[in-house]
Structure 1
Amino acid sequence: MCGIVGIVSEDINIVPLLVRSLKRLEYRGYDSAGFAFVIEGKIVVLKDRGYIDHVVKEYNILSLYSNIGIAHTRWATHGQPSKANAHPHTDCGGLVAVVHNGIISNYVELKQYLEEKGHIFRSETDTEVIAHLLEEYIVNEKLTPLQALHRLVKTLKGTYAIALLYAKTPNRIYFAKNVSPLILAVSPTYGLLASDIPSLIEYSRKVVVVEDGEYGFVEPGNIVLYRDGKVVNWRPRIHVVGWSVTDIEKAGYPHFMLKEIMEQPRALYDTYSGALADENIVKAAKLIIESNKIFITGAGTSYHAGLTATYYFARIANQLPYTFISSEADLYADLASEETVLIAISQSGETIDTLKAVRLFKERGAKIIAISNVIGSAIPREADVTVYTRAGPEIGVAATKTYLTQILILQYIAISTGLLKGLYTENDAKEYIKLLGQAPKAVEQSLQRASPHINRLAMRLHREEHMYILGRLLGAFLALEAALKIKEVSYIHAEAYPAGESKHGPIALVQKGFPTIFIGTPPVQIVEKIASNIEEMMSRGAFTILIGLNCYEDVKADFRLLLGPCNEYLAPYYIMPPLQLLAYRLAVLRGYDPDKPRNLAKTVTVE
């Protein structure tokens, strides 16, 4: 959840680079920010509650000169948002400055031990124990920084990505990692590390993912990596990132969320094209047909993609997976065995709850299929088979293009599974796959048709504080994602239900003008049922909205938007982009920044 960046050079002033790089992690969400530099042999720490721009202006940071620095954006987990609790943290003597992402689970006992040794703490955070431990090891026990790091890795329990400065080595940034993500970049000029790729892409497209239990340092033009006191050869692990700085900029759009909604045709085209040649889709299908239980897991939007996949596996592959939210994995893992497959969905590949679910299932012998947008991330490294979406970088906190690319990959795996099970011929499978190739055009046409109508609808709804979003079968799953988008960015309390459930409680809240959105999806057998549900809501005064496909042309509602042919395989691509656009328009009309929803982080790396 927090953002970490470190840059070191021989003699180049890295201060403006560090500020720019940290700002590229703003999408992860934060409540405070800070910087540490070595200047004239001393560590200088500048931090405060609030946005990066505030901290930079408050301390006139861009007027400084330093060849080395670390920076951090913090979401509060231990200790409230405050200047004292913001990172970096230092030791008593000011020789060490530390930034950290994660949770140190044994920090209470470590803090007590250090206080007994005479260390004085100035914050409420778990991170500060790291700085004092290093001081204890280096100053009092006379260990070298690398020896101290080795000892630190053995001592700390929990999750962490750590970057630190030591005043006496002003050309090295030290690091250590367990569970929380940490990336190194290969550069002839700089030493570079960060918690995510966007902050480093300006300087290098070659990255190395640090693995659990590893530690070391970066220096100008060099990386030194250790595990258990032994040097690790990192060069075979270099990944070349397939996108550039322009991909992580707004490119003239007012917000990343709008840019990424509009990028969906391209993201789907790239994902579809990649899937056509991806042998891992067939490998994933083989694992599925060799299993006796299939589970799908994810968090947030990825969970909703998994629910949608449940529908398609049932329809295409005659198989009904168990789909669960990753944070509830403890219950489901007890049902796993060597004949189980878990499909783990994570945009970042680092979502902590999904990673924990993967590890719980692996402990019981389950096979893992990962679906991720980030090559080399943690969950793919744990998986037996990985299929990557090719959505490109997604900066907006509210997932848009990665959601639809996840659905496309899951549909493709379902088709391959059905083919391997002999449910249809190879020609039939080719027709299904050819149909998926229409997804980019479906999104493009839908957005073109919907945009003016969505603008008008948003004007009608933006002062509302509550709404329902209802659907049946596939539509119920799409409704969940639509409600999440609206809640995330506009802060309107949107609740999704299967439409048939409305009479079992939710309808009690409906009164004159209450907005109720109905998702109109195939199969045609449910059209009359949705029509009946709409009439039921209208009779109680609800403002009814129908967003669906052309098979609903005879269904009445106060506001109707029909978006394309009645095809269940293309339904998400016609229906979801306008709903994403509605969430975006509502946020803007209500005066909120859809790229920075309050209290939310793009990548959740703490439990």
Structure 2
Amino acid sequence: MCGIVGYIGNRQAYPILIKGLHRLEYRGYDSAGIALIDNEHLKVYKAKGKVDELEQFAQQKDIAGTIGIAHTRWATHGEPNHNNAHPHYSQSEEIAIIHNGIIENYTVLKEGLMKEGYTFQSETDTEVLVQLIEYMKKTNATDLPTAVQLALSQVVGAYAIAVLDKHHPDLIVAARKGSPLVIGIGEDEYFIGSDATPIIEYTNKVTYIGEEEIVTIKRNEPLKIKTIGNIDKTPQIQQLELTLSQLEKGGYPHFMLKEIFEQPHSLSDCMRGRVNVDKDNITLAGFIDNREKFLNAKRIIITACGTSWHAAQIGMYAIEEYARIPVEVEYSSEFRYRKPVIHKNDIVIAISQSGETADTLAAVELAKQHGAFIFGICNVVGSSIPRNTHSGCYTHVGPEIGVASTKAFTAQVTVLTMLAILIGKENGTISHDEYLKLIRELSLIPDKVSEVLKKNDQIAELAKTFTYASNCIYLGRGYNFPIALEGALKLKEISYIHAEGYPAAEMKHGPIALISNEMPVIAIATQSETYGKVLSNIQEIKARKGRIISIVTEGDNIIKNLSSHSIEVPATMPCLAPLLSVIPLQLLAYHIAVVKGCDVDQPRNLAKSVTVE
């Protein structure tokens, strides 16, 4: 959600900034802009639409300068247009700002500035902030870092900002609260990013800016960091594990398809060093270090959003089945506002691919205030959730660029399943034989995912028949019910076809009224103890001339014969079935979107990292 890039050094900034914006396109955006300083000339260029349109607009402009900031905007305050795009000038056009996040008290601040004679060119909260910075700089006769500090002390909300001053062509001031910001450290140059993707091409040395920290980035000088409360901080330099090749499509037409096909490898990476068939054990450092907390927990609360919430639902099934600990799954956005009852002996598991999901971060803070133990499950090393939780587990699947999550989802499910099995083994709620069986079957999942991926051509052909559909229903039971939700979400996200997921038994409590020969019904019907019940639900749909597309276990001819189309997946244990049954649904959504001509990697209105509420 929104992207920030910045550069200061000896090279020309424009090519670096534009390339960085392209790297950040996966985050989702609707306008783009750039600000450069050259000989105390502060130049701002921006355009509605894609980064390509910004490049076209800037072709005949003066783009010289060795310092600059750039931004891709996902609209919050004000519609996507030129005026609302970032960067924003101050009234004197001496200062420019880019901003991710939301300033919640911008209306009050704006009213105060208008009384001081300030006028506004946009509908954004961001322009209010740059005007406030200029006001503080002039009324206090101070420098830019101090003006930023004074302004932010009056701000309520979330932000990651980078600020330029035309009178200081060797300086960028950046700050963050609730929205990520990383500084790359090169040879006599610095890079700024809302994440590491625009930086890795130039350096693997970074420092992550902490909450309410302001960094002064000056040409040929060490970074200076202080808090809004004026406490000096020492930059903590880290080495990035990211590689440039991970950010390329590798011959695939879209990142989403690449990431779907990466899942055998990404699941192996997720389990590497954790699932050991030879030694018959599962090892999770985050569990081992906090073993007693997990074994003494009276309740586990899992909080997440979107796809991660669906993974949490599967985790709930697994933890309750194998560890016999009651689990509640909460939407982070609701959890934080409904005054939840949280006890000190509760464990709260926070799940986020990016580690920056604003609602989940807020839920973490709420749980910490109540004294609960917080365990994070995240993909991005160094992101906010790992830094704000007591312990946790990285999924280790590499960068996920496609907005619609695929490999991150299966890795989250894998981590939750490993955790459930491990807790169950340690507290004696599963037998040793079942523990061994689970380990061995889990180790086979990457190869079984590879088998499912061989159905890609079959699924691509099936997708061609969906161009007429405007609504779909997804059905599943048990572990496959969250997969019905996830399959429906994927279809909605990238093909813009309305879809809903239901427990199969709920069909007769309302949704069955929608069934007709024009309503595709996708039934996830792999072998499980509820197989007979799902079969009955499918027969009810068939009797009403519903068109059934089924996901079944290899060798199943009963449901296959009732279906218009059927996709087989290898047999596995019910708790691991979601890792296989979700793959055809990811591919189906992908190919339907391609047939419809949709922008698969950057679907409309969506953002990869949701850093605002």
Q: TM-score, normalised by structure 1?
A: 0.96
Q: d(CA) in 1 for partners of 2:397 and 2:356?
A: 16
Q: d(CA) in 2 for partners of 1:283 and 1:551?
A: 44
Q: d(CA) in 2 for partners of 1:280 and 1:434?
A: 22
Counterpart in 1 of 2:491?
A: 486
Counterpart in 1 of 2:323?
A: 317
What amino acid maps onto 1:225 in structure 2?
A: I
The within-5 A match list for 1:88-487 is 88-220=87-219, 222-227=222-227, 228-234=229-235, 237-276=236-275, 278-283=284-289, 286-330=292-336, 334-424=340-430, 428-448=434-454, 450-487=455-492
What amino acid maps onto 1:475 in structure 2?
A: N
Specify whether residues 213 and 566 from structure 1 end up closer, same or farther in structure 2 by C-alpha distance, changes over 3 A only: closer
Deviates more, 1:219-228 or 1:145-154: 219-228
What amino acid maps onto 2:516 in structure 1?
A: Q
1:579-606 CA-to-partner distances (Å, cap 9, x unmatched) read 1011100000001011011000000011
Deviation at 1:207, TM superposition (A): 1.9
Specify whether residues 71 and 219 from structure 1 end up closer, same or farther in structure 2 by C-alpha distance, changes over 3 A only: same
Deviates more, 1:555-564 or 1:418-427: 418-427
Q: d(CA) in 2 for partners of 1:551 and 1:308?
A: 25
Q: d(CA) in 2 for partners of 1:184 and 1:349?
A: 17
Deviation at 1:281, TM superposition (A): 3.2
Give SS of 2:102's match: strand
Specify whether residues 434 and 286 from structure 1 end up closer, same or farther in structure 2 by C-alpha distance, changes over 3 A only: farther
Q: d(CA) in 2 for partners of 1:275 and 1:149?
A: 46
Deviation at 1:224, TM superposition (A): 1.8
Decide whether the 8 Å contact of 1:239 with 1:375 is kept in 2: no
Deviation at 1:427, TM superposition (A): 6.1
Give SS of 1:165's match: strand
Q: d(CA) in 2 for partners of 1:493 and 1:173?
A: 45
Counterpart in 2 of 1:5?
A: 5
Decide whether the 8 Å contact of 2:302 with 2:330 is kept in 1: yes
1:473-527 CA-to-partner distances (Å, cap 9, x unmatched) read 111111100110011001111111011001111011111232111001342x322
Deviation at 1:551, TM superposition (A): 6.8
Aligned residues: 602
Counterpart in 1 of 2:511?
A: 506
The within-5 A match list for 1:514-553 is 514-523=519-528, 525-550=529-554, 552-553=556-557
1:149-207 CA-to-partner distances (Å, cap 9, x unmatched) read 22122111111101011112112211111111111112123211111111111111222
* Percent sequence identity over aligned pairs: 39
Deviates more, 1:573-582 or 1:586-595: 573-582
Q: d(CA) in 2 for partners of 1:142 and 1:116?
A: 20
Q: d(CA) in 2 for partners of 1:481 and 1:163?
A: 37
1:12-67 CA-to-partner distances (Å, cap 9, x unmatched) read 11211110001111111111111000022111000121111101101217862210
1:519-549 CA-to-partner distances (Å, cap 9, x unmatched) read 01342x3222111111111111111111122
Deviation at 1:370, TM superposition (A): 0.2
Q: Unpaired segments of 5 or more residues in structure 1?
A: none
Q: d(CA) in 2 for partners of 1:3 and 1:117?
A: 32
Decide whether the 8 Å contact of 1:265 with 1:444 is kept in 2: yes
1:130-152 CA-to-partner distances (Å, cap 9, x unmatched) read 21112112223211112112212
Specify whether residues 283 and 433 from structure 1 end up closer, same or farther in structure 2 by C-alpha distance, changes over 3 A only: farther
Q: d(CA) in 1 for partners of 2:336 and 2:18?
A: 41
The within-5 A match list for 1:43-58 is 43-58=42-57
Decide whether the 8 Å contact of 2:449 with 2:583 is kept in 1: yes
1:545-566 CA-to-partner distances (Å, cap 9, x unmatched) read 1112237432232212221114
What amino acid maps onto 2:138 in structure 1?
A: V
Q: d(CA) in 1 for partners of 2:517 and 2:606?
A: 33
Decide whether the 8 Å contact of 1:9 with 1:219 is kept in 2: no
What amino acid maps onto 1:218 in structure 2?
A: I
Deviates more, 1:426-435 or 1:192-201: 426-435
Decide whether the 8 Å contact of 2:294 with 2:423 is kept in 1: yes
Q: d(CA) in 1 for partners of 2:144 and 2:9?
A: 19
- Alignment RMSD: 1.6
Deviates more, 1:580-589 or 1:357-366: 357-366
Decide whether the 8 Å contact of 1:333 with 1:360 is kept in 2: no
- The one of 600, 607, 613 aligned to 1:601: 607
Deviation at 1:223, TM superposition (A): 2.1
Give SS of 1:192's match: strand
Q: d(CA) in 2 for partners of 1:61 and 1:353?
A: 42
Give SS of 1:174's match: strand
The within-5 A match list for 1:58-77 is 58-60=57-59, 64-77=63-76
What amino acid maps onto 2:75 in structure 1?
A: A
Decide whether the 8 Å contact of 1:550 with 1:566 is kept in 2: no
Decide whether the 8 Å contact of 1:545 with 1:558 is kept in 2: yes
Give SS of 1:253's match: coil
1:234-275 CA-to-partner distances (Å, cap 9, x unmatched) read 1xx323221211101111111000000011111111110043
Deviation at 1:374, TM superposition (A): 0.8
1:196-223 CA-to-partner distances (Å, cap 9, x unmatched) read 1111111112221111110022234642
Counterpart in 1 of 2:35?
A: 36
